[in-house]
């Protein structure tokens, strides 16, 4: 029998890890069936994805486009392990959902570019499905236009080789793609706006926005309505469990 669904985390901050796990458990409907492992702290078994019902890769304050010399030992460990996970999932058609930081790792594994030409403000941004997205077994649960929470220093300026673009927007064109059994989202599918405000407080000194603007950022997030992205996680879980 497979082990429970797994959330791979790459967040050094204990409060951010705790809140992310709670967000994903709630949004996915998995509750305690979702087990968290820190990919930047723990050595992962090679066959983790084979033994799991499904794997969700969370976000991080790290960026894969950070200069190599500036990367901590934990960041390097996480990137090696997530890249190996991606390669195994692609080869064996295993259900894995890379989000946020994870999409950068997957994009590089596929031979794509991750750079800082399309940075995103911390905000609730509107995206739209492509024709392929409307037909996709997971992305198709979303409306043609939906609002999602995002805020990143880096992104893929174009889909990597072999990937099918499922959703896009005007600020950062690669928001969601599929390659085989693997999904990847630039936006965060799991947090509520309140969750994201707490996360912004943790990372207000990490360069996503000027620290003095935190209250304004929080006010804009508080005024937004974000409900659709969690549908992705629930649909991913349903199909993976089946």
Query: Structure pTM?
Result: 0.96
Q: Are 118 and 74 contacting, i.e. CB atoms less than 8 angstroms apart?
A: no
pLDDT at 3: 61
pLDDT of residue 92: 97
Tell me which residue has tokens 């089946």: 242
Q: What is the pLDDT of residue 95?
A: 97
Q: Where are the domains of the chain?
A: 5-241
What is the reported pLDDT for 1? 42
The answer to whether the beta carbons of residues 18 and 12 sit under 8 Å apart is no
Phi, psi of 84 (to 5 degrees): -65, -40
Arch. (CATH architecture) of 5-241: 3-Layer(aba) Sandwich (3.40)
Give residues with Cβ within 8 angstroms of 151, minimum separation 6: 120, 121, 122, 123, 200, 208, 209
Instruction: Please give the distance of CA 158 from its chain centroid, rounded to a whole number.
Output: 17
Q: Mind listing the pLDDT tens digit for each residue in 169-223?
A: 999 999 999 999 999 999 999 999 999 999 999 999 999 999 999 999 999 999 9
Which two structure tokens, joined as six digits, stand for 68? 């190599």
The string of DSSP letters for 3-44 reads BPEEEEE---SHHHHHHHHHHHHHHHS-GGGEEEEETTTSPP
Q: What percent of the chain has pLDDT over 90?
A: 98
Structure tokens at 227: 């409900």
Phi (first) and psi of residue 230, to 5 degrees: -60, -25
Task: Tell me how far apart the alpha carbons of residues 107 and 51 are, in angstroms, rounded to a whole number.
Answer: 24
Q: Which residues of the chain have pLDDT under 70?
A: 1-3
Q: How far apart are CA 181 and CA 202, in angstroms?
A: 33
pLDDT value, residue 242: 87
């Amino acid at each position: 029998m497979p082990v429970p669904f797994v959330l791979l985390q790459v967040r050094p901050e204990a409060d951010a890890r705790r809140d992310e796990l709670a967000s994903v458990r709630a949004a996915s409907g998995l509750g305690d069936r979702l087990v968290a492992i820190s990919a930047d702290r723990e050595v992962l078994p090679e066959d983790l994805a084979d033994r799991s019902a499904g794997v969700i890769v969370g976000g991080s304050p790290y960026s894969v486009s950070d200069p190599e010399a500036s990367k901590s030992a934990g960041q390097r460990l996480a990137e090696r392990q997530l890249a190996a996970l991606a390669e195994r999932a692609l080869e064996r058609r295993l259900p894995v959902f890379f989000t946020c930081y994870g999409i950068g790792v997957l994009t590089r594994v596929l031979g794509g570019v991750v750079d800082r030409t399309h940075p995103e403000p911390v905000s609730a941004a509107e995206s739209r499905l492509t024709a392929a997205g409307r037909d996709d077994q997971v992305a198709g649960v979303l409306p043609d236009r939906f609002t999602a929470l995002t805020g990143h220093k880096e992104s893929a300026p174009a889909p990597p080789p072999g990937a099918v673009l499922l959703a896009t927007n005007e600020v950062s064109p690669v928001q969601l793609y599929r390659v085989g059994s693997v999904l990847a989202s630039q936006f965060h599918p799991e947090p509520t706006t309140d969750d994201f405000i707490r996360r912004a407080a943790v990372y207000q000194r990490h360069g996503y926005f000027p620290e003095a603007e935190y209250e304004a950022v929080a006010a804009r997030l508080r005024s937004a309505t974000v409900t659709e992205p969690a549908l992705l996680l629930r649909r991913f879980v349903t199909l993976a469990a089946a």
